[in-house]
A and B are shown apart, each in its own frame.
Chain A
Amino acid sequence: MALNPNKPKRLPGGVLLLVFCILSIVLMTLWVREGTTGPLHTLRSGVETVTAPVKNVGAVIGAPFRAVGDLITGVSTSTSTVEELRIQNEKLASELIRMEEYRQENERLSALLGLKDAYGLESVGARVIMKGADAWNRVITINKGTASGFTVGMPVLSANGGLIGQIESVSYDSSVVRLITDEKSGVAAFIQSNRTEGIWAGSVDGVLHLEFIAGDVEVKVGDPIITSGSGGVFPKGLAIGEVASIEFAPADVYKTIVVRPISRAGTYEEVLVITGSEAEIVAAQNTGTTTDTAGDASSAEAQQPEGTTGG
């Protein structure tokens, strides 16, 4: 196309650039400032609902590609035998930590009568339909949402009982779970053997760290790490992983502890979402029975969705 010096060719493009840039910055500012129930977050939730069927189809179509990706990612664990043993090992490690937690709690508190069982958790199974649509967030999408009673903040476990994340956003029939290995994840946890509390945090490279453990605290490689229940984000006693390495320089105040997660990211296809404790659900059902004389069955169904399994 010949250049015409009388016609300002670059002006429309430049104006458009300016308009789109301002619009993007305004959207970004609103997004950061508004709460999780704001209109932009609601819009994304709507998009998740609309795209959920597409993601479901993608999960089926992408299975062969995923197998190739897994092969490249884990060349050393390519045989089915090794994979089976690894899954079995993860399951046993998780069970061992849970059993140890029960044993220690029983030892300390057996004298107290009427102790409420903190581990009677209700959970609902869900299928993973997408694992991270982008490289910047360690998230998975599962195929159940508000229709199954899910809400933002519910903890998510792998099938072997290890904590893998927390629901970040939820739509009618799908939910996005941010994994514990993501750098935006982090909550109170303690070392099971000595009950020292710290903060576990994910990182960009997917490595879990237990932070703020003082230098004089005795920690051993292999010590189980579990949620402490502080802050009420996660129930107490959920297995996160075990200590993989410890670094401590004399000048440091805190130890640098790397945690090996029980549930390795990307290996699970089904997950369990903790919807509440058994005691809470029974109480809610009882309240519903006494207050709702009409006996609305739908409220009871909402408290105990289809596919509910004991935790």
Chain B
Amino acid sequence: MMNNTMPQATPVFTIVGSLISVLLQLMLAPSIAVFEVAPNFLLCFAVVNAMFTGVIRATSVGFILGLVYDLIAQGALGAMALVLTIVAYAISSLNKEAISISWTIQALFLLLSAFAGEILYAAELAVIGYDDNFWLSFGMRVIPTTIYCGLIGLIIFLIMNRLNKNKRPEILRSKFK
């Protein structure tokens, strides 16, 4: 559902943002890993992009970025594609008026979305037998990655919000200054 409160990102912005996310995942993510936990830039961008775009574009970008992640990483092909498709669809279908009430809600929403993505991925890996200890993975990977992705997602969100502020309806611009 389209909304009247969040700015709408242009297709060019989505494409450029996606490419930058892929490059960051390849070049930067391994270098900024803390305690062997590397951030997932593609998840971060797919979540934030879904907050700024409609269902079709968000779902398509989620699927493509997920597939790219699966090709770059060493998990099962299709696993992250499925996760990002579902997460991006769910976010883009939400009533975004509720999300844009305050920065706290937005930050919390990003964190919850990152958590949903990571926990779904962990569950998938457990189901197909790639991860034999779900609860240990939950503590060692899901939680740290969620926090990391939440922080990075917030930065991406601020950038997208800033760059797309002119796409927001005039009546609401004052709220985001």
A80 to chain B, nearest CB (A): 20
B49 an interface residue at 8 Å Cβ cutoff? no
Interchain CB contact under 8 A, A58 and B81: no
CA A59 to CA B28, docked complex, whole Å = 8
Interchain CB contact under 8 A, B31 and A65: yes
Chain B neighbourhood of A29, CB < 8 A = 78
A135 an interface residue at 8 Å Cβ cutoff? yes
CA A70 to CA B61, docked complex, whole Å = 33
Chain B neighbourhood of A10, CB < 8 A = 1, 55, 93
B151 to chain A, nearest CB (A): 14
Question: Which of A26, A31, A55 is in CB contact (< 8 Å) with B26?
Answer: A55
B40 an interface residue at 8 Å Cβ cutoff? yes
29 A–B contact pairs at CB < 8 A? Answer: A1-B3, A13-B55, A17-B85, A23-B81, A24-B79, A24-B81, A26-B78, A27-B77, A27-B78, A28-B76, A28-B124, A31-B77, A32-B76, A32-B129, A44-B77, A54-B26, A55-B26, A69-B33, A73-B35, A73-B36, A130-B30, A134-B29, A134-B69, A136-B131, A136-B137, A136-B141, A183-B131, A183-B132, A203-B133
Main secondary structure on chain A at its contact with chain B?
helix
Among residues 64 to 123 in chain B, which have CB atoms less than 8 Å away from a CB atom of chain A? 66-67, 69-79, 81-82, 85-86, 89, 92-93, 121
- Chain A residues with CB under 8 Å of chain B are 1, 9-10, 12-13, 16-17, 20-21, 23-32, 40, 43-44, 47, 51, 54-55, 57-59, 61-63, 65-66, 68-69, 72-73, 130-139, 168-169, 176, 178, 183-184, 203-206, 265-266
Interchain CB contact under 8 A, B36 and A206: yes
A209 to chain B, nearest CB (A): 12
Interchain CB contact under 8 A, A17 and B86: yes
CA A169 to CA B32, docked complex, whole Å = 24
Interchain CB contact under 8 A, B38 and A134: yes
> What 5 A-B pairs are tightest by C-beta distance, nearest first?
A62-B31, A58-B27, A27-B78, A13-B55, A24-B82
- Chain B residues with CB under 8 Å of chain A are 1-4, 23, 25-38, 40, 54-56, 59-60, 62-63, 66-67, 69-79, 81-82, 85-86, 89, 92-93, 121, 124-125, 128-133, 136-137, 140-141, 144-145
Interchain CB contact under 8 A, B89 and A17: yes
Chain A neighbourhood of B55, CB < 8 A = 10, 12-13, 16
Chain A neighbourhood of B81, CB < 8 A = 20, 23-24, 27
Chain B neighbourhood of A30, CB < 8 A = 77
Chain A neighbourhood of B73, CB < 8 A = 133-134, 136-137
**Nearest A residue to B43, CB-CB:** A134
CA A61 to CA B73, docked complex, whole Å = 20
Asked, given contacts A73-B35, A183-B133, whether A28 binds B89 with beta carbons under 8 Å apart, the answer is no
**Nearest B residue to A29, CB-CB:** B78
Interchain CB contact under 8 A, B37 and A204: no
Interchain CB contact under 8 A, B75 and A13: no
B43 to chain A, nearest CB (A): 10
Q: Which of B75, B78, B128 is packed against the most chain A CB atoms within 10 Å?
A: B78
CA A47 to CA B72, docked complex, whole Å = 7
CA A9 to CA B38, docked complex, whole Å = 38
Chain A neighbourhood of B77, CB < 8 A = 27-28, 30-31, 40, 43-44
CA A61 to CA B23, docked complex, whole Å = 12
Asked, given contacts A54-B26, A133-B26, A203-B136, whether A73 binds B34 with beta carbons under 8 Å apart, the answer is yes
Interchain CB contact under 8 A, B78 and A31: yes
Interchain CB contact under 8 A, B28 and A61: yes
Q: Which of A10, A13, A21, A40 is packed against the most chain B CB atoms within 10 Å?
A: A13
Interchain CB contact under 8 A, A25 and B78: yes
Interchain CB contact under 8 A, B30 and A58: yes
Asked, given contacts A20-B81, A139-B74, A204-B131, whether A266 binds B36 with beta carbons under 8 Å apart, the answer is yes
Chain B neighbourhood of A68, CB < 8 A = 32
Question: Which of B2, B26, B27, B82 is in CB contact (< 8 Å) with A28?
Answer: B82
B8 to chain A, nearest CB (A): 10
Interchain CB contact under 8 A, B32 and A69: yes
CA A132 to CA B32, docked complex, whole Å = 11
Chain A neighbourhood of B144, CB < 8 A = 135
Chain B neighbourhood of A1, CB < 8 A = 2-4
Asked, given contacts A20-B85, A183-B132, whether A31 binds B76 with beta carbons under 8 Å apart, the answer is yes
